A and B are shown apart, each in its own frame.
Chain A
Amino acid sequence: MSHEHHDHEHSELGEMDLRVRALESVLAQKGYIDPAALDVLIDTYQTKIGPRNGARVVARAWADAAYRDWLRRDATAAIASLGYSGRQGEHMVVLENTPQRHHMVVCTLCSCYPWPVLGLPPTWYKSAPYRSRAVKDPRGVLADFGVTLPESTEIRVVDSTAEVRYLVLPMRPASTEGFSEEQLAALVTRDSMIGTGLPLEPAP
């Protein structure tokens, strides 16, 4: 549901605020949850686990051929070596983009997403238009993101139907020879790791 939608429905917003507050109170009173744990969970996904993690993985793969090979063989271990593991990323596979094939990841059945490397999924990833259209009209979806790929590039959509989680490894932008991993990571966008975008071009 879009931001605009919420802005027009203040009453619904208030209703959800009250409903979630009531639920949280009952769960805490019954001793099922530690209210302090909720704050830690929220802080974790707001400040610690997000797409900059994935950008570090991609930058390392661009800079280090041995690491790239490790990602191809065992992405779960290679990603864990940088400190990213666990919930919704227990079994990782990296999809490597080439001039011949571009990958785009979707979860048509719910919202499966590689949390340890990308954080929480954006609203559009969970939305009906993306989940309906990505598998059948990926070039149309890419156009919504302002991306056009050559007709000679196959578009491979990967639907996350089990507990394997997919990270797209985009192609390294041209004119980045000699860039440090930090400089490379700054070019890696979240959408480029889902496959709905491309990395940024370096400033001339």
Chain B
Amino acid sequence: MTYLSHADLGGRPNAERVQPEAEGELFHAGWEPRALAVTLAMGATGSWNIDMSRAARETLPDYASLSYYQIWIGALEKLLAERNLVRPDELQAGRALHPPQPVARVLQADAVPEALAKGSPTERPATAPARFLVGDVVRTRAQRVDHHTRLPGYAHGRHGVIESVQGMHVFADSHAQGLGEQPQWLYRVAFSGTELWGVDAAPGTSVAFDAWESYLEPAA
């Protein structure tokens, strides 16, 4: 395996308390809103898709020691460098030293409200019938894959029940690898606490998440 995600945190041992935060407390340093805005504005250029940016973030070697907006900036610099849009010497100098590369779009100020209101829907017209129905018992893929994926590590090789059929959606795994959208049926699958955590399961708890069809097989 060469692909290593540092972001798959569900169920990992962690003794730290969760620190609640007031509703208005959006940013904790002056650079954070700028980091948010440059990330959104560069995303709007179409130079990469959201799954590629998630892959860039989760593979940062120092992921665990960074704040979330630091992760965003680290990944943004990586995505820019990989595409020769911005080179490291330019970041060092704080000014452009090489000619720009073409980008598909530039988000102008007056177009922001419409762009945000539109978003990037991922549902696609159905091209095949769904393999599973609500109530079907399925088993998740047990083996690891060597690329970005959205099947959490805590739920590999587990039995769950299809709770909702969510339409055909762009497949994150292929989209992140630059292999196109390859839409698949998406399902919300529910798992009992004991199926996921065994004897450690807290009583009266269950987990559900969205899984693309190729993550699932019929329960034997």
Contact = CB atoms under 8 A, between A and B. Distances in A.
Partners in one complex: yes
Contacts of B205: 138-139, 154-157
A86 B116 contact: yes
B208 A138 contact: no
Contact of A90 (B20, B23, B122): B122
Nearest to A156: B206
Contact of B122 (A20, A119, A163): A163
B19 interface: yes
A30 B85 CA distance: 9
B199 interface: no
A40 to B, nearest CB: 4
Contacts of A17: 29-31
A110 B152 contact: no
Contact of B7 (A3, A109, A140, A191): A109
Interface residues of A, number: 91
Contacts of A41: 36-37, 40-41, 112, 116
A144 to B, nearest CB: 4
A161 B116 contact: no
Interface string A3-41: 101100000010011111111111101111110111111
Contacts of B150: 109, 161-162
Contacts of B35: 16, 20
Contacts, number: 296
A44 B111 CA distance: 12
B196 interface: yes
Given A16-B29, A122-B21, A108 B152 contact: yes
B41 A34 contact: yes
B8 interface: yes
Contacts of B167: 91
Contact of A164 (B26, B95, B113, B186): B186
Interface string B104-131: 0011110111011111111100000000
A137 B17 CA distance: 12
Given A86-B118, A135-B196, A22 B91 contact: yes
B77 A23 contact: yes
A176 interface: no
B109 A25 contact: no
B17 A144 contact: yes
Contacts of B29: 6, 13, 16-17
Nearest to A153: B204
Interface in A57-94: 85-91, 93
B94 A44 contact: no
A46 interface: yes
B67 interface: yes
A128 B9 contact: yes
A113 B207 CA distance: 17
A199 interface: no
Given A136-B197, A162-B211, 6 more contacts: A16-B73, A24-B38, A37-B112, A85-B117, A136-B201, A154-B205
Closest 9 CB pairs of A and B: A108-B10, A1-B67, A86-B119, A22-B94, A162-B210, A36-B109, A132-B14, A38-B37, A159-B209
